[in-house]
Amino acid sequence: MKVAFLDRDGTIIKDYLDIEWKNVKEPEFLDGSIEGIRKLIEDGYNVIIVTNQYLINDGIISIDQYESFTSKILGALEKEHISILDIYYCPHSKDEKCDCRKPAIGMIKKAMERHPNIDLTNSILVGDSTCDEEFANALAMDFHGIRGGNLNNQNRLFDSINDVAICRRKKEMIRVSS
């Protein structure tokens, strides 16, 4: 099974300054994220969201706030007939030494335990930060960066998940026609 592992904040939905998150009640989907997720699923990817949520253990948001917000994201995607296979999150503070905070690979280990048929060699990771890129590199997965985060190589970045999906389709068409 091939998977599109997607970061959440700054990739699927708008990201905010840490302290602002306590007042965010509704997800604001980034342009092209819903269309892109739909295309990735049409192209045979299962979608798993992997997200660092250190705001929980930092005391900025509660676990209840996280779960309520996540339910709203999933509800909005369901209205678009988009099904997410799974979501993994790390609640640990930046100072805590855990194995799940990206770029550590603990969330992928959990995903592989729950879904042992995941094929990482045919999976991708889409994110907006250097920790997302390091996460993908640690797993030897193709990485696709989204503009707006803290990624350095501006030449290899996409404006949206939709642009990632379109690019992957073009590469597949070239590969098949060769």
Using the predicted structure, report yes or no on whether residue 113 has a pLDDT greater than 60: yes
pLDDT at residue 151 in the model: 87
Q: Could you name the CATH architecture of 3-177?
A: 3-Layer(aba) Sandwich (3.40)
Using the predicted structure, report yes or no on whether residue 107 has a pLDDT greater than 80: yes
Q: For residue 162, which of 146, 178, 143 has the smallest C-alpha distance?
A: 146
Query: What is the number of other CB atoms lying within 10 angstroms of the CB of residue 75?
Result: 10
Residue 163, token pair as written in the block: 């642009």
- Domain limits of the chain? 3-177
- Report the C-alpha gap between 90 and 75 in whole angstroms: 21
Using the predicted structure, report yes or no on whether residue 155 has a pLDDT greater than 70: no
What share of the chain in percent tops pLDDT 70? 95
pLDDT at residue 178 in the model: 47
pLDDT average, residue stretch 108-136: 96
Average pLDDT, the chain: 94
| φ, ψ (nearest 5 deg) of residue 133 | -65, -45
pLDDT at residue 173 in the model: 63
pLDDT at residue 149 in the model: 87
